[in-house]
């Protein structure tokens, strides 16, 4: 067989894809061999470019995640970037102090937002890398992007409630409306938050029932665990002396406020405001105090106990019982007859 049949035909040119690549074109110009240029392009250059694309995507994802982690760490520690310091200086001191009271809550919120941002970065970076890899296989990605856009619009219309829940959950995290361990009131469900997600929040009420509430369906929400709380206790005193009862209650709340076991739970000293209401059963005196949100229920029970014991020790409770017994023994007047 003549050797000319085995040698490559110099008149043949590489493929258009090879000629469009600078490295493949350089190989062809150097070797003047079509099969060497095309073979090297599809066996070596094309896989190497795909590997480079994947590696660059992984590096970009790692750098972005590292940046997010640094921002999350600074946020969890209460630090503010240099460019945002002028804004921080305009924030009232009371707001800054309120935020510094709950470092663990701030850390959990920052971690949750960081997790969402890392997931979004991963999806975005690898989606772009996937499209670039498809273009390396000479696949036209323009129709694919257009089709994905149409599918996205269709899914957006068909899953409006899901999108609404996710957006509401994201804003809930950004605004720090509530967190795990908070006692919240969503209208239908009132209880302790056990888990928080972008779509739903899980609440356990006082009877132990688990409620799964969609974030997009929450119209208004009351958080009983943020900052401080006001405890209001109305004490009925019947028809005994108001001044005497008020004096006894003030002595009781003053002693309670100076108790070393409870004094740290008071944000402000308790106050006996005076007569709040008058009914057929007598006067009602209101006592209020400002305390930390997580201790409001324990402090409220203890204050009720101390006020009750103070009324009993002063004899006012006995006077109230005697007054009720006297009123019950007096027969009611009969209405006049026509």
Read off the tokens for 235.
Answer: 């004490």
Residues in Cβ contact with 101 at an 8 Å cutoff, skipping those fewer than 6 apart: 227
Averaged pLDDT of the chain: 76
Residue 101 clears pLDDT 80, i.e. is over it: no
- Look at 38 and 83; give whichever has higher pLDDT: 38
Q: What is the pLDDT of residues 28-37, one digit of tens each?
A: 555 655 555 5
Using the structure block, give the residue that is written with the tokens 């992984």: 58
Q: What is the pLDDT of residues 206-224, one digit of tens each?
A: 888 999 998 888 888 888 8
Residue 8's pLDDT band (cuts 50, 70, 90): very low
Supply the pLDDT for residue 169. 83
Residue 83 clears pLDDT 60, i.e. is over it: no
Mean pLDDT of 140-145: 76
Q: What is the pLDDT of residues 270-302, one digit of tens each?
A: 888 888 888 877 888 899 988 888 788 888 999
Taking the whole predicted model, whether its pTM rises above 0.75 is answered as: no
Supply the pLDDT for residue 239. 81
Supply the pLDDT for residue 17. 52
> How does DSSP assign 229-260, residue by residue?
EEEEEEEEEETS-HHHHHHHHHHHHHHHHT-T
Supply the pLDDT for residue 100. 44
- CA 215 to the chain's CA centroid: 11
Number of H helices, E strands in the chain: 13, 8
CB 191 within 8 A of CB 213: no
Q: What is the pLDDT of residues 238-264, one digit of tens each?
A: 888 888 888 889 999 888 888 888 888
**Domains present along the chain, CATH in parentheses:** 1-158 (no CATH), 171-223 (2.30.30.60), 228-328 (3.30.70.100)
Supply the pLDDT for residue 108. 67
């Amino acid at each position: 067989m003549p050797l000319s049949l085995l040698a490559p035909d110099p008149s043949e040119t590489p493929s258009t894809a090879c000629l469009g690549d600078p490295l493949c074109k350089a190989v062809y110009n150097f070797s003047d061999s079509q099969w060497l240029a095309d073979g090297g392009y599809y066996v070596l250059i094309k896989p190497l470019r795909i590997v480079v694309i994947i590696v660059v995507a992984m590096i970009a994802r790692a750098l972005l995640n590292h940046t997010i982690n640094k921002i999350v760490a600074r946020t969890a520690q209460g630090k503010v970037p240099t460019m945002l310091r002028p804004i921080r200086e305009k924030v009232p001191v009371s707001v800054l102090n309120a935020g510094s009271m709950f470092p663990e809550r701030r850390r959990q919120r920052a971690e949750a937002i960081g997790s969402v941002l890392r997931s979004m970065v991963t999806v975005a970076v690898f989606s772009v890398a996937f499209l670039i890899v498809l273009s390396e296989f000479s696949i036209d990605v323009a129709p694919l992007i257009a089709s994905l856009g149409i599918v996205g619009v269709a899914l957006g219309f068909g899953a409006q409630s899901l999108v609404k829940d996710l957006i509401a959950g994201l804003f809930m995290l950004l605004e720090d409306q509530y967190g795990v361990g908070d006692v919240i009131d969503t209208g239908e469900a009132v209880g302790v938050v056990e888990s928080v997600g972008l779509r739903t929040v899980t609440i356990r009420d006082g009877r132990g029932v688990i409620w799964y509430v969609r974030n997009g369906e929450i119209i208004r929400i009351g958080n009983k665990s943020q900052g401080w709380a006001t405890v209001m206790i109305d004490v009925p005193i019947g028809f005994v002396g108001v001044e005497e009862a008020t004096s006894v209650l003030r002595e009781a709340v003053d002693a309670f406020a100076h108790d070393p076991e409870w004094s740290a739970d008071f944000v402000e000293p308790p106050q006996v405001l005076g007569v709040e209401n008058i009914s057929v059963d007598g006067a009602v005196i209101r006592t209020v105090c400002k305390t930390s949100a997580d201790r409001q229920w324990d402090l409220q029970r203890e204050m009720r106990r101390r006020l009750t014991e103070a009324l009993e020790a002063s004899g006012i409770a006995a006077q109230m019982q005697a007054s009720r017994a006297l009123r019950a023994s007096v027969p009611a007047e009969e209405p006049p007859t026509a």
